[in-house]
Amino acid sequence: MSGIIANTGKNILRNRWLSIATILVATIVFATASFFIAVSFMAQQAVRISETKAQLQIYFEVDTPESQISSVRDKLEKLNGIEEVTYITQEEALALYLDYYSDDPELIDSVSADWLPASLEVRASSLTDLEYITDQVKEEQRTNPYIEEVVYHEDVVKQLRSISNAIRYGAIGIISIFSVITLSLVFITIAFNINAHHKEIEIMHLVGSNDSYIKLPYILEGVVYTTVGSLIAAGLIIIPWYLLVGSSSDSNIKFILTQLATELDLNYLRSFDLKFVILFFGVHGIVGALVGFASSSFAVMKNLNLKSR
């Protein structure tokens, strides 16, 4: 095994500029792919959180009897996809109003609870459920004179979902292209090295070296290129992030990144998290090794047929 590792190192060093170029391209590819995967994941996380916070507000006429509101609430709680139904009384609506406009005395001086409508806030399990519930509530509104208004910010959530889908499909396309580039580059590099050392390979074959001793160094060479490139890419992404969020300065960038991690419920990105760092580098290393193994194995299979030598 030590001989195989030594031959792998020798192959890499003999073509050091080609090796450096291959690792550099692999780094760029993995960094770009990781960036788009991260953006796509954050977009999906934003949609998921929006779904959990998605609400439907049902406002009732000011003089609506509480029994009528309770009746509507009971009907809602029987629907599929209901996460929670909250009853906001006129007094609670006044408290919310006073808190919201606390900086503007002119807007709160003459307001009383009798002026504000009671309401129901409905939280659904998902956007699909919320759309179904909204249709049911609007149907109820047509026959129930006590329901004054139904508010559902449908456009905002749908736009967020559309943006998320566009990012995801774009990421898939870009990652596919870069994956082909990486596989092709490693294939070409290994094929070049095999052809450049064909006389040495023939001699090793003639003196009785087994096939695995000849082939494995070239396979491991490809694994080294992509694994090193993927780990460098991981470092280029995660190290600057933690340096920014962990810096002592109160910069705008730090505030934006911390706020983003908080809003998306990604607590492991708010401050240094060793488990996440190990996982992040581990995933990059494993994916890099698999890509290199697949590409270099294919190159060896196509360019190193020892039976014909």
pLDDT at 248: 58
| Cα–Cα distance for residue pair 107/205, rounded to 1 Å | 91
How many residues does the structure list for the chain?
309
Cβ burial, residue 164 (10 Å; 0-12/13-18/19+): buried
pLDDT at 284: 92
**Residues 6 or more apart from 24 whose CB is under 8 A from it?**
229
Q: Looking at the whole model, is its pTM more than 0.85?
A: no
Domains in the chain and their CATH numbers? 2-49+158-308 (no CATH), 55-125 (3.30.70.3040)
pLDDT at 306: 55
Nearest to 222 by CA among 24, 5, 2, 22: 22
Cβ burial, residue 80 (10 Å; 0-12/13-18/19+): exposed
Token digits of residue 14: 């003999």
Token look-up 């629907």 returns: 79
**Chain Cα centroid distance, residue 225:** 26
Q: How many CB atoms lie within 10 A of CB 264?
A: 17
pLDDT in tens, the chain (309 residues): 666 677 667 767 777 888 888 899 899 989 988 888 888 888 777 777 766 665 788 898 888 888 898 998 998 888 888 888 888 888 887 787 777 666 666 656 666 656 778 888 888 877 778 888 888 888 888 988 888 888 876 666 677 778 778 887 888 888 888 888 888 888 888 888 777 766 776 676 666 666 666 778 888 888 989 999 999 999 998 988 888 777 656 666 666 667 667 767 777 777 788 898 999 999 999 999 999 898 888 888 877 665 544
